[in-house]
Amino acid sequence: MAPRVQLEKAAWRWVESVRPEDIHREHIEIAYRICVPSCKRGACRRNCKGNPNCLVGIGEHAWLGEINENSFHNIDDPNSERRDKNTFVGLTNLGATCYVNTFLQVWFHNLELRRTLYLCQNCPSSQSNWWEVLQEAWDYEPRSICEHLQYLFALLQNSNRRYIDPSGLVKALGLDTGQQQDAQEFSKLFLSLLEDTLSKQKNPNLQNVIQLQFCGQMSYVTVCNQCGRASPLPSRYYELELNIQGHKNLTECVTEFLKEEKLDGDNRYFCESCQSKQNATRRIKLHSLPRVLNLQLMRFVFDRQTGHKKKLNTFISFPEQLDMGPFLEGKGIKCVYELSAVLIHRGVSAYSGHYIAHVRDARTSDWYKFNDEEIEKMEGKKLQLGIEEDIAETVKSQTRKPKCSKGYHCSRNAYMLVYNPLSVPGFLQRLVDRDNRKFEEWCLEMADMRKQSVDKGKAKHEEVKELYELLPAEDGQQYEFVPLEWLKKWLDDSTVTKEIDNGNFLCSHGKLHPDKVGEAKRISVKAAELLFDRYGGGPRLDGSTLCEECVGQRCRVLRLKNQLAEDFKEVTNLVKGPPKSDEGYWVGKTSLRSWRQLALEQLDEDEEETKHIDGKSNGEGPNQDEDEEEMKTFNEDILCRHGGLSILESERRLVTEEVWSKLRVYFPRAPQFTQLQEPCQQCLRLEREGKENEALNRMMASEQKSSLLNLFQEKNRPTLTKWPQETDILYIVPLFFVDEWRKFIRRPTKTTPVSSVGNSLLLCPHGGFMFTHDSMLMGDAQHIALLWPGEWEVISRHFLVDQPISICRISQATPNGSSVEYTTQPELCRDCREGFIFQQQRDMREYAQATVYVRKVIDDKRVSTAPEVNVSGSEAEDEREEPVAKVDGEQDPDFSQIMHAFSVAPFDQNLSIDGRCLTDDSATLGSLGVIPESVICLKADEPIADYAALDDVYQVCMPEEGFKGTGLLGH
């Protein structure tokens, strides 16, 4: 099938030889592409949107072949989440909780710990009244951390699910599921919390379970080198934290943990016998070992260079059977442990990665790998760490994995080793049974939904097979149109089929728009009847709804576009001759110069009106009032604002009636003015009035200028610094009034005359004056202008004055001579003045961004070390000898700017201003008295040599909160 653009051109090719008044039915059907051949199945890769008769590639292929029941639903088999027989249950990862899941699996496989938790009396079974026990058991829900752990272990033991959700316990612990915590720290805190919970049990056999399971005894023994006195410090431990750096096997790690440490120098020991500090030795002695020995391999260490934790990917060898007897104080004791769990951290960073656990089943001795929901059983009852646990995935290490002897394992990711030497209570089993019932109900519900989807798909399959064969409209037979998108949704089983909506296909005449036929499909009347009966909708569009008016309008526009070039040449020749008397028409010169372009734009606009855009019918386009200047049409350039003929004869010319008739074809709505048309009378009257007003303004400006010549020329002006001797009173007006008045004097015909003096701008809400004589000397005078008494009299005659303002000098004789005071009328409003000053000071201390200078000094000599970064164009202070380096104000002002400029680290910076040390690191600049343009002095703890003693200031654009929390204040 031809491309869509070719189909569009073919639909309107006939307009070249057919006038709008000669259009017949056959032309309309060509425009609507009624006779375009339909496509056969297999001939089109995709549906031909430009062909209303193409009914292939709309989704029918999914229904016309063999039935595949799986395509009728997207519901997975619920039994895929059912726990297989003789398998363990996994734990869902809630985001970043894999470290929690690993420990939960290890603790669950500790049968003694599990049995102990089941016996805890924090549940309905602890009630004395059997009826209360029975009643509460039906409504029992875990609340405490211990209860949640009990329920979780019961689910891990007897659930029908392949994996369970630990969110109840995680929420009770208050853990952030999106942030990975330190696994070793979590282990310590959780065991401590569990120990505290069990210590409150009434049963004495349960109170010390954590100690019996995980707690051992050791002591820190310090021996004085002088007197030989030994000072033991007993202590308990729940795991041994072993340093792995520089070691190859577990024995070396334990040996270093117990090695002797020398205490000398500043680290000397205070001996109570000697009553002085003495050199000594200290070592750890193991007195007893717990039943479950937890060995923490310290893979996550603090890096002093970066200030962050890092992971040590050191290979460590460890045995399946560990004899801890040689490390105990009592020699000859045999204490052999068997490896029961290995916790693994995948990844190279201490802040990311993934945790998994290898755990040995105590009943069968089989090894399992627990990876959240996934559980893998190892073959041959052997621990198999696998390549993914032993090699850091994202780093190609130069260190090869060492060979391990029989009975030993080697890993570079193991961070905890666990060595070791029951029925569920009824109330917990009832909770498990309830969860299992929910799971079975969910399985039945999913299976029923799958069946309903399959049944619905089979029914749709039969419907499509029945209707699709009826869709094509035969030549010469009646037909209707339906939307292509609706047909696609009808054939898409994932979409709920709605009623048929043809409303977006209508033109302004209520018929099928020609431009929409490419998005519709022509189908047989029989198929349309069945579809509308089953799904409803409308309006129905048949062969009688092909719009003859739209086709005729499009034909006229296309023909005029083809004729435009020929008419342009003819009009160009005709306008060269003058029109005959009384037969001409006025045309704007601008319009005449660009009429071809305007005609083309008008034709494009007319063609757009015949097109269907965004579901709007003809005449419902954009609001033309929104941008009238861009919508100018031909001959509007000679229209005045009243809609009449413009009075500017230089902007128009006469053309002959023949020229005008050709132009009217392209611009039928253009304004028309004959040669005898009179110009707009309103414009003529306004022109006369405008000239009179300009004359009045010139005369007014001349009179005001002559009477206030010194004010206009800024000559002989009074000042407060040198009060004129010839007068004791001066008048005050806003400087804004004087500036506007001078503009009018300079351009009286272009500027509006000034009619009033707005002195209320200088007064407070109570009518008092806002400035004092001293404040005006200090800078407030930039808002006012001073007038001589004679000038004030002239201004009072020519302008409206809302409130006179004056300042008076009063001389008084005193015993010590004469004194001068200054008063204002109206008098100063002290309350408002104090508020104004307070706000000025507040603005100086509370600012969003300002320039602050930092000067480096050494031994009271200023030293230049600041690089020139983004040098500012502003001038430096007079005392500076070097250009000022200015940091772009958009950069974040933190301690790194000062550190970069002066090579002084934050902890070596001593900052001061006006002799005051800035030591409060949490304070703001304003609270420390650092206002804009202040100079902060920087003195480093260690002087930097090899610099000339030059005066330099480092200029920093920083926000008022610049010091807060950034360490800018050093120490």
Buried-exposed string 651-685: b where 16+ CB fall within 10 A, e elsewhere: ebbbbbeebbebbeebbeebbebeeeeebbeebee
Q: What is the DSSP letter of 329?
A: S
Q: How far is CA 682 from the centre of its chain?
A: 59
Contact criterion met (CB below 8 Å) for 339 and 360? yes
SS3 431: helix
Is-cis flag, bond preceding 826, omega within 30? yes
The kind and range of the H/E element at 411 are: strand 408-411
Which pair of tokens denotes residue 498? 């709605």
Q: What is the dihedral of CA 142, 147, 148, 153, to 10 degrees?
A: -120
SS3 894: coil
Contact criterion met (CB below 8 Å) for 28 and 548? yes
Contact criterion met (CB below 8 Å) for 916 and 929? yes
* Pairing of the two strands 850-858 and 935-940: parallel
29 by Cβ neighbours in 10 Å (0-12 / 13-18 / 19+) ranks as middle
A 10 A CB-CB count for 451 gives 14
759: nearest Cα among 710, 807, 805: 805
The Cα–Cα gap between 75 and 81 comes to: 13
The Cα–Cα gap between 189 and 100 comes to: 12
The Cα–Cα gap between 946 and 944 comes to: 7
SS3 87: coil
The Cα–Cα gap between 842 and 931 comes to: 10
543, 636, 756 from 530: Cα distances, Å:
18, 56, 82
The Cα–Cα gap between 127 and 268 comes to: 59
The kind and range of the H/E element at 702 are: helix 681-707
Helix-helix angle 130-139:426-468, to 10 degrees = 30
354 is known as an active-site residue: yes
404: nearest Cα among 338, 315, 326: 315
Q: Identify the active-site residue in 73, 354, 612, 798.
A: 354
The Cα–Cα gap between 909 and 886 comes to: 20
2, 473, 484, 544 from 37: Cα distances, Å:
11, 11, 17, 21
The Cα–Cα gap between 370 and 372 comes to: 6
53 by Cβ neighbours in 10 Å (0-12 / 13-18 / 19+) ranks as buried
SS3 236: strand
The Cα–Cα gap between 168 and 431 comes to: 14
6, 44, 354, 518, 828 from 3: Cα distances, Å:
5, 11, 54, 12, 85
Q: Identify the active-site residue in 98, 271, 507, 957.
A: 98
The kind and range of the H/E element at 709 are: helix 709-713
The kind and range of the H/E element at 786 are: strand 784-787
Helices (H) and strands (E) in the chain, counts: 27, 40
Contact criterion met (CB below 8 Å) for 504 and 444? no
- Residue numbers annotated as active site: 98, 354
